Structure formats: C-alpha cells, structure tokens
Amino acid sequence: MRIMIVDDEVIIRTGLCTVIDWKELGLDLLPAAASAEEVLERIPSEKPHIVLTDIRMPGMDGIALAQEIKKLLPDTEIVILTGYDDFAYAQQALRGGVTDYLLKTSGPEEIIKAAMKAKHNIMSKWEMMKRETEQSAALRSRLLEQLLTGQLDQKTSIDPLLDWLAKRNVFHYETSKIQNMQSVLLSATGWGSGSPATLLLGATENMLIELLPCVTLMKKDRIMLVTRVPDSLYTFDELLCAVRRVEDTLKCHIFATRGCIVQLCDELARSYQEAEEVFAYRGLLGGVGVHEYSMIKNRSGGRTVCSEKEENELAAILMGNNATRLRLWVNGLVNDMLLDQNVTLTTLQAFMQSLVIAGHRWLERAKGGHSMEITLAPTYVYDANDQLEEEVFKLLASIMSAFHESIADHRYSYIHLATAYIRNNLDQNVTLQQVARHVHINPNHLSEVFKKETGQSYIEFVTQERMKLAAEILRTSQVKISEVAGKVGYEDIKYFGQQFKKYMGQTPSEFRQSGST
C-alpha cells in the first residue's frame, strides 16, 4: 500500500518522511511532493492509496487537492495536516471526504494512528470488493450452469449472466444482430499423475479466456464454455486454433466437444446437451481433438456379446494365470472396438460386460462343486474418464487372481487346476496325459491323487462333467442333439445318447421334453 506526503515546507516533508518508519507499518513511501499541482501530475502514474497533505500551500490548497484526488481516485484516503487549529477548516476537510484532521503539532503516535486508520479503511474496502466480486462471480457461474443444463428457473433474472457474456464479447444486446454462440466442453491431459488435474485444467481455462471471446466454468474434470462463433467459421476456426495454441504452450492434450450453433441464450442448453453427449464418447474418440455431434449421431451400434471363440480364448488365458497374455488379449479386443465406427456407448457397455460375465462363467466352471471364498461382482460400468482396456483388464485379472489364490494353499492345488482345465475343454478329446502336462505332474501320480481327491477315476470324472454340461445346454437352449454332443466332445451321437441315458436316466430328447432341472 502506497502513501504520499505533501507539504510546501521542506523541513516538514523531510521530518514526516524520516521520523516515522513507514515500511514497518506496511506502507511504501512515495517521493514527497512540494505542491498540490505536483501531486496531480504524479497521481495517474503513482496512484497513492493514502495522501498526507498540508492545507495551506501556495497555489491550490489541501482541501481543493483532496477534492481533485477524490475525482481521480475515489478510494484514496486523505489525512489533513495543518498548523492552524481552525475548526472551520477541519469541518470543511471532513465534508470533502478527508479521513482525518491533525495538527502539525501532533506527535508521531497521532500521525501513525491516523495513517493506520486510513490503511484499515482501505483494507476494509478491498475486502468488501473482494467479497462482492466473489459473490458476483459465483452468481454468474451458477446462472451459467443452470442455463446450460436446463435447470434455470423461468422467474430468475439472468441479467448478470447477460452482462458477463456482453463484457466478454460473446453476446450483444442488439436484438437485430444475429448472434452465433456455441456450448463447448473441454478436458486436458498430459501432465502425468504427479500434478493435480485441476492445475492443468486451470491453466487451460486461463489461456482460453485470453484466446477466445468466451465465458467459462470449471467443473471437476472439464471446462464448460460458451463462445461466440465468428461469421468466418468455415475459413477460420477460432476454437480449433485456440485448442492447438493451448496444446503447444502447455504441452498437453485437449479433448473438446461442441454443440450446435445457436442465436439465442435460451437455446444454449440444446447446444450444451449435444456437446455433453459427444463428450461421453471421449474414450471411443481417442481422447484428443475437437469433435462435433455429427461424428456420433449416425452410429448404429456394434457387437454386444463376445463370441464363443473369444470366451474359449479367455478361459484358456485365465486358466493359465498369465497376466501379460490377458492384457494383450484385452487390448486387442478393445482396439478392435475403437476402430468400429458404429459402436455406441450402449453397445460398448454391453460388450465389455459380456467379457466380464464370460470371466465369471469360467470361474464358476473352474470352481466346480468346491466351496471357495470368492466374492466378485460381475459388473462393468463405462466411464469416459477410464481407459477401456485398463478397466476391463483389472476386472478379469481380479477374477483370475481370486481363483488361483483360492487354491494356492491346498496341498493338492494341482487337482483343482486339473478339474478346472477339464471343465473348460469338455468339447475336446482331453486325455490324462494332456492334463498332466498342463499341471506339470506325472500322469500316473495325477491319476492316483485324482481318484483320492475326487472319489472318481479320471474317465468317470470327465464323463460326469460332460453329461452335466450337456444337461445344462439341453435345459437352456434349443440346440440340436447332434450339436449338443459336439459341444461336450462326442462325435458319435448314438454313443452320446447311451452315455447320457446312463447318467441321467433319460435320453437327451426325453430330458429336454420333461424340462428336468
């Protein structure tokens, strides 16, 4: 805070400058002035917050100076010092907006007290202005958010918002003039996990305010923005240029979506709705660039269920407990989905969920009848902030880890692996030797321990599991009997029928017709 001393007497000027330690009081002492005319010349550039001035000076006196200062700098605090104990002068000075009136005979303590009173008045004004500014900004931001999200009460005045838009050259009050405006959503990435996300977003917002005629509102992971669209939209895209400038300067990546161009403030909600709908596709659109509603509106939808081949591949990976292979497999599937220009959020959600459900189906098969303490929710929920492949990988990896950890403490954990392997390959001619190789155990030893742990020979167990799977397929589908036989590893349909009746007491057709459970 700056203070200036004014007196035509050099001794008084020097004394007031040196006797009191102004810096200790939190005041920066400007060079003293010898006349009112000198003060008025210097005020535009030096802008003192407090002026300590004599009344009687050659030329313009202190009271007239106070009046002129108030015209130029209304918030400046003025303290009058005079050698004349004249009450009329004091009254006149106070009526002119002077903060205090002191005699030159006043001691340093009284002068300091008056200066501190002036400083307190200024700080109180600043605090009040700060609160008013914050309140006004909060009101404008609230009105902007309500307007864009369609939650604005019809009775609410939006004049503060219109004034803000006009001040930022986004909107003009002239009703005869076409006003092209657009709602935009932006996110920024690229500074790594070491920096708070709000830091990059705040820097982006500051640059956009400098580069565009716009108003902005920062919300969590995005910036809500309303900008004016220039008439030369198709020859010079201000938004695209601004985004590139921000990326180059801040060394980051910007993802922006914009809604339709509108002419009225009441239509901005429609524009925002489009921008928000496109923003939800951030993961599918690569997370960078400027995108419009036209890029997604004609999407018809992609795959919603993983294929039998993919489910079998997943089962083999989960059984092998290979996290690296699982990650590569998931990445490949997700990349294929991203390349499909017809994928919608609904079909993406469904397909990713089908992968997770396939993982849980494998887990149930692998567990068999064993009571393992494994509780996992088979749910995938799409979030535009997530990396698709990472989230799906985590869910499937948790299923894989849960199973393998649950059997790790068993003395014969390889028996659990063997039975799980068998259940996932019932459509194949799975031999004891194959299973033994898979679990890295000698076939003879596996056969001996297998019967001890399961109560069945290897062949008995395989046949039983095939019949259980065949019964499940017959119960839940209308697949032909010959196809059911193939799905459980039998090429000879007649032999399959004989084995099924032996275990279930009915032929496959009778079983299906009876609706057995």
What pLDDT, in 10s, does the model give residues 389-416?
A: 888 898 899 888 887 777 666 666 777 7
Query: What's the whole-number mean pLDDT along residues 227-238?
Result: 70
By three-state DSSP, how is residue 221 classified?
coil
State percent of the chain over pLDDT 70: 90
CA 349/CA 343 separation, integer angstroms: 10
pLDDT of residue 235: 44
Question: Which has the closest alpha carbon to 326: 396, 430, 407?
Answer: 396
Query: What's the whole-number mean pLDDT along residues 74-102?
Result: 75
Write out pLDDT tens, residues 195-214. 678 899 999 999 999 999 99
Q: What is the pTM of this model?
A: 0.62
Q: How confident is the model at residue 88 (pLDDT cuts 50, 70, 90)?
A: low
pLDDT of residue 224: 95
Between residues 289 and 374, which one has the greater pLDDT? 289
By three-state DSSP, how is residue 103 classified?
strand
pLDDT for residue 419 is more than 60: yes
pLDDT of residue 91: 65
By three-state DSSP, how is residue 401 classified?
helix
CA 185/CA 208 separation, integer angstroms: 12
Q: How confident is the model at residue 439 (pLDDT cuts 50, 70, 90)?
A: confident
Per-residue buried b or exposed e for 387-407, using 16+ beta carbons within 10 Å of the residue's own CB = ebbebbbebbbebbeebbebb
CA 323/CA 394 separation, integer angstroms: 10
Between residues 274 and 154, which one has the greater pLDDT? 274
CA 47/CA 499 separation, integer angstroms: 102
Question: Which has the closest alpha carbon to 149: 217, 240, 208, 205?
Answer: 217
- Domains, the chain, with CATH or none: 2-125 (3.40.50.2300), 159-295 (3.30.70.270), 299-408 (no CATH), 410-517 (1.10.10.60)
Which residues, 6+ apart, have CB-to-CB distance to 210 below 8 Å? Answer: none
Cβ 423 vs Cβ 462: under 8 Å: no
Query: What's the whole-number mean pLDDT along residues 82-99?
Result: 68
Q: How confident is the model at residue 247 (pLDDT cuts 50, 70, 90)?
A: very high
Tell me the backbone φ, ψ of residue 428, rounded to 5 degrees.
-105, 165
State percent of the chain over pLDDT 90: 33
